[in-house]
Structure formats: C-alpha cells, structure tokens
Amino acid sequence: MAISQDLLDILACPKCKGDLRLTDGKDGLICDACRLLYPIKDNIPVMLVDEAIHLNKDLETDTLQDG
C-alpha cells in the first residue's frame, strides 16, 4: 500500500513543520524548505531528522558557475 494523499496531508516536516512532497519514485518525502528527504521504509515514512537525507542543491542547479 502506497503513501496516500491523506497521509501526506497529515505528515509534516519534523524540523520546520512544513509541507512534504512525495518523490517521483514514491520512496521518500521531501521538504523543500529544509532540503531534506525522509526515506520511506516498508511503506512507513521515517520522520526523523537524523534519518533524513540532505539533498544536494546541485541536483537542481547543475549549472552553477562562478563569475
């Protein structure tokens, strides 16, 4: 059973209490504000900051250039 929209509405980032969005692979929840990815293990979101994965900003801005 996948993470439902209802569950998504209930869940919030434990760090900033902000909204989360599902990853494309539906295997994690992302807080855009904190740039953290909370993994989903056995269909259970792991809502722990310590377990969260820091997203690399380079993933979205891979054209960073100095000067």
Residues that bind Zn ion (CB under 5 A): 13, 15-16, 18, 31, 33-34
C-alpha distances (whole Å) from 60 to each of 7, 34, 55 are 27, 14, 10
The residue (of 1 and 8) whose beta carbon lies closer to Zn ion is 8
The sign of the CA dihedral 16, 42, 3, 29 is: positive
CA contacts within 13 A on the Cβ side of 57: 4
Minimum separation from the CB atom of position 33 to Zn ion (A):
5
Judged by beta carbon, residue 1 or residue 10, the one nearer Zn ion is 10
Smallest distance from the beta carbon of 13 to Zn ion, in angstroms?
A: 3
The nearest distance, CB 55 to Zn ion, in angstroms, is 11
